[in-house]
Amino acid sequence: MRQSRTAAGACSLLLAAACALADPATAQVAAPRAVAGGYVALGDSYSAGVGAGDYLASGRECKRSSRAFPVLWAEAHAPTSFAFAACNGAGTTDVLTEQLGHLSPRTGLVTLTVGGSDTGFVRVIASCALGGTGGCRSALSQARNAMDGSLSAGLDRLYTAIRNRAPAARVVVLGYPHLYHLQGACALGLPDGERATLNDAVDHLNAVIARRATAHGFTFADVTAAFAGHEICSSRPWLRGVDVLAITESYHPTAPGQSLGYLPALNRVS
């Protein structure tokens, strides 16, 4: 929706190389790699950085964090411009109608996480936590139907609009991590059977997103491997569990989840 800050390199690559030659101790310090064109970060709460803290005043209603992976990537790579449009709660229609104004033929990179809100994953988690096994499985069945139906159609509309507005951009669509570490440290909460079912639903959601992204010539970045061993109930979780005092941040990546989970996944493909 609104723009944030633009990251800039401190010196040119040539100057950095010259400094390294003059002082071998500096040879270990890599200068940020300049990126041609602007960078636009679209999407939902996982791109906005909900759960990571340190929220920006310019995007407080969207809970945009200075620790979110788009900000970290922009700081490291110095794009010619950076628009941080991702917003908490955004679905495909929200991104389509409210976030694409930042795109142009000069855009060089677009990143995006979207789909969880469209399929009602918050409602699914609540049903699994409160509705027992029957309510959980019923909610998951409805979510899977939405993934295969309305979400697929919504992604097609959105991806087509992104390509039309930014015809030269590299578009990276990032997926979602598994929520739970099975046989982990949580003594209370959902049983492992329902936790495994939720993880399976995340896999199905990622598969739908990946298929539509690939069909439009976009790159899909899977983050499940990066988060393996760091899900909720692990010894070092990068996802927030249920927090009744900050319910919006529940089931979202922490600052390490953004910097050690999402950022490396984006770096590998960008």
Structure tokens at 103: 């795109």
Instruction: Evaluate whether 129 touches 182 at the Cβ level (below 8 Å).
Output: no
Sign of CA dihedral 196, 197, 203, 205: negative
Instruction: Evaluate whether 92 touches 115 at the Cβ level (below 8 Å).
Output: yes
Cα–Cα distance, 1 to 11 (Å, whole number): 30
Cα–Cα distance, 132 to 87 (Å, whole number): 31
User: For 136, which DSSP code?
Assistant: H
Cα–Cα distance, 44 to 60 (Å, whole number): 14
Rounding to the nearest 10 degrees, give the CA dihedral for residues 177, 179, 180, 186: 140
Element (H, E) at 20: helix 13-22
Catalytic residue, candidates 102, 181, 230, 252: 252
Task: Please indicate whether residue 252 is annotated as part of the active site.
Answer: yes
Catalytic residue, candidates 4, 45, 65, 234: 45
Instruction: Evaluate whether 92 touches 157 at the Cβ level (below 8 Å).
Output: yes
Q: Beta-carbon neighbour count of residue 93 at 10 Å?
A: 14
> ∠ at Cα 51 (98, 151), nearest 5°?
45
Residue carrying structure tokens 């499940």: 224
User: Could you list the active site residues?
Assistant: 45, 252
